[in-house]
Amino acid sequence: MDLNQVTIHAVDVDTCVEFYRKLGLRLIVDSRPRYVRFECPEGGSTFSIHQVDEVAPTGGAIIYFECDDLDGRVASLKESGIEFDSDPEDMRWRWREARLRDPAGHEICLFRAGDNRRHPPWRVTD
């Protein structure tokens, strides 16, 4: 099994399209104002936005995008006008993370984990 795509809700899809394009995602389906889908710049995963009248609270969901050059990506995004809740920081679980929110209020974590994403020293073995 492989994760194919994550879909979020937004009232203003156009504003979100601009935001996610700045993050580096490539628009591959454009059925605005109802639906859009992006392709991640690496790997085969896709990310979509479905238009709704009202966005429900996220319930603690966080969208994670891994970046090879996290610090450079954050600096570039800040230069383009994107605001961050937190700058890149080394976490105790061996990831480097920066946090922000999209225009619909969804929490996003840009991170760099390398091998620690799937193979941390504490990984459970069968």
- Flag whether 99 is in a domain: yes
Please write the tens of the pLDDT for every residue from 57-73: 766 688 999 999 999 99
Q: How many domains does the chain have?
A: 1
Residue entry with tokens 């591959």: 28
Among all chains, which residue has been given the structure tokens 């990831």?
Answer: 95
Nearest to 70 by CA among 84, 56, 53: 84
Q: How confident is the model at residue 80 (pLDDT cuts 50, 70, 90)?
A: very high
Contact by Cβ (8 Å): 91, 97: yes
Range of the domain at 49: 5-117
Q: Which residue has the higher pLDDT, 92 or 3?
A: 92
In a domain, residue 122? The reply is no
Cα 73 to Cα 13, 63, 112, 113, distances in angstroms: 23, 16, 11, 15
- What's the distance, CA 87 to chain centroid? 15
125 part of a folded domain: no
- pLDDT of amino acid 58: 67
Does residue 85 belong to any structural domain of this protein? yes
Question: How far is residue 24's CA from residue 36's CA, in Å, rounded to a whole number?
Answer: 15
Distances (CA, A) of 111 to 3, 4, 13, 94, 126: 18, 20, 24, 10, 27
Q: Considering the entire predicted model, what is its pTM?
A: 0.87
Predicted pLDDT of residue 108: 94
Residue recorded with tokens 């450079």: 72
CATH of the domain at 94: 3.10.180.10
